[in-house]
Amino acid sequence: MQQTDIDALRALTVPSQGLFIAGRVEPAANGQVLDVSSPIDGQKFTTIADGGAADIDRAVVAARTAFDKGVWSRAAPAERKKVLMRLAALIEAKALELAVLGVRDNGTEIGMAYRAEPISAASTFRYYGEAVDKVFGEIAPTPPNILGLVHKEPLGVVGVIVPWNFPMMIGAWKIAPALAAGNSVVVKPPEIASLALLRLAELASEAGLPDGVLNVVTGKGSVAGEALGRHMNVDAIAFTGSGPVGRRLLEYAARSNLKRVYLELGGKSPNIVFADAPNLKQAAKVSANGIFRNSGQVCVAGSRLLVQSSIYDRFMADLLDATARLKVGDPLDVTSDVGAIASADQLEKDLGFVAKAEEEGARRLTGGARIREESGGYYMAPTVFENVTPEMTLAREEVFGPVLAVMRFDTEEEAIRLANATVYGLASAVWTSNLATAHRMVRTINAGVVHVNTYGGSDITVPLGGVKQSGFGRDKSLHALDKYLELKTAWISLG
């Protein structure tokens, strides 16, 4: 990745964006647009269409029409595979362009954005493309006069709603298995980071995906998102985002057509460091990255750090040192370790959590303020609080920003109690050299993933998702295909 290539791409003018419906780019029915400004400098650089209920309806009709025609839903799996593999190759070929476009939209540091957005999306499309012709139905063990077949069929129209952090990666986790299974899809991207998903839909068309199979309607969550959630002709919603919006989607489903709803929500993930961690310096460095990369705007961020008392002072010195070394800067500068906060609203929210933590008696060790204000963009210093207790807001609520809450523990039992004292259950980590401790922790921590002696690593082969109020349903891995396939029984009398 060359800085000169990045600079050339960031200088490109981005034309006003339309909706992508039935293979065509179209304005919103009401003609309205939303300004798109960059968190890098606060400047407006393009507009997106402000889609509404009429546009969602057009997109759903296009998706349903394509589904009923069978152009994709009844295409041979090997044909679907070819298109998904071509799409993966196109994404890879345009990876830097897509990454820079996405960073201008949401401010993620380019190194991470490049790997996590286009490169990861390409591998996701390839993974499900490769999987699609290996999905089998079943022959049931029925009595001899009966043939019992279990077919796996696509659901129909799947609505995909994603957040502004990693919209392409998270979008691909849903779009790829839904398409692989033969569904049509309508995507509602996040209003502050829609550009990469619009580009993805164009690339899918270029790869040979039939018109109407993948549609993108940009617009406000409370308008376009709600219309998708309430639509009577949508069979499932695959959502990643906040808890309050997840709850609304369940309500919309209950009040409309009982569509399936899959929710990947927030977290308050514990990162637990025992005194016998194999390499404490390394653990401190990885722990700092585990909360501060992408300015903490990561659903699985290790936002609660639990450190065993006997190593507390030493470990905290290393953690603060690693934190101080992180360069917060222009996300399109390859030397920046941490980029911008995605919006002015989010920055204000993050600073509100800092004020609350101080008010409630936590002790700030570093950070806590807006920085680089002269850039016009939204940047915040990595922030660490200690003396956090489980009752404090900072221990209970997801900040979704660069703010770390640190607590001490003495025993394994205390670590488990603190770790599980949350309504969330998305991610977690344990640092220890003791195999038995590690396995006991894996069994007792309530979370969708327990990392051991690392934080945040994962790939497409393993499921991702939460327990408790972090949601239900899993993205990634072969298990995700099940969300987009319906089982149908054939019970055939053989006479």
Sites of contact with ligand NAD (CB under 6 A): 161-165, 170, 188, 190-191, 221-222, 225-226, 229, 240-242, 245, 248, 264-267, 299, 398, 400, 426, 466
Nearest approach in angstroms of CB 276 to ligand NAD is: 31
Both tokens assigned to 131: 């999987």
Nearest approach in angstroms of CB 434 to ligand NAD is: 30
**299 given a catalytic annotation:** yes
DSSP letters of 343-357? -HHHHHHHHHHHHHH
Alpha-carbon distance 259 to 28, whole Å? 25
Of the two residues 45 and 472, which places its CB atom closer to ligand NAD in the complex? Answer: 472
- Residue 98, H or E segment: helix 95-106
Of the two residues 90 and 338, which places its CB atom closer to ligand NAD in the complex? Answer: 338
Nearest approach in angstroms of CB 235 to ligand NAD is: 16
Residue 406 · residue 279 · CB < 8 Å: no
**251 given a catalytic annotation:** no
Residue 380 · residue 367 · CB < 8 Å: yes
Contacts of 160 (CB under 8 A, 6+ apart): 171, 174, 175, 178, 185, 186, 187, 188, 237, 238, 239
Of the two residues 193 and 277, which places its CB atom closer to ligand NAD in the complex? Answer: 193
Nearest approach in angstroms of CB 230 to ligand NAD is: 9
C-alpha 436: how far from chain center: 32
Assign residue 55 a region: left if phi > 0, alpha if psi is -120 to 50, beta otherwise? alpha
Nearest approach in angstroms of CB 167 to ligand NAD is: 8
Largest interatomic CA distance in the chain: 82
Nearest approach in angstroms of CB 314 to ligand NAD is: 31
Alpha-carbon distance 240 to 238, whole Å? 7
> Between the CA of residue 397 and those of 161, 166, 231, 458, 469, what are the distances in Å?
22, 21, 31, 24, 12
Nearest approach in angstroms of CB 297 to ligand NAD is: 7
Both tokens assigned to 190: 């996040």
Of the two residues 81 and 268, which places its CB atom closer to ligand NAD in the complex? Answer: 268
Other C-beta atoms closer than 10 Å to the C-beta of 299 total 26
C-alpha 238: how far from chain center: 11
Query: One of 264, 391, 412, 414 is an active-site residue; which one?
Result: 264
Alpha-carbon distance 343 to 327, whole Å? 19
Of the two residues 453 and 458, which places its CB atom closer to ligand NAD in the complex? Answer: 458
Of the two residues 164 and 315, which places its CB atom closer to ligand NAD in the complex? Answer: 164
Of the two residues 267 and 456, which places its CB atom closer to ligand NAD in the complex? Answer: 267
Residue in 173, 144, 142, 326 with CA at minimum distance from that of residue 239: 173
Alpha-carbon distance 439 to 248, whole Å? 37
- Residue 385, H or E segment: strand 383-386
Alpha-carbon distance 156 to 40, whole Å? 39
Of the two residues 32 and 242, which places its CB atom closer to ligand NAD in the complex? Answer: 242
Query: One of 109, 226, 299, 412 is an active-site residue; which one?
Result: 299
Nearest approach in angstroms of CB 250 to ligand NAD is: 11
**Which residues are catalytically annotated?**
264, 299
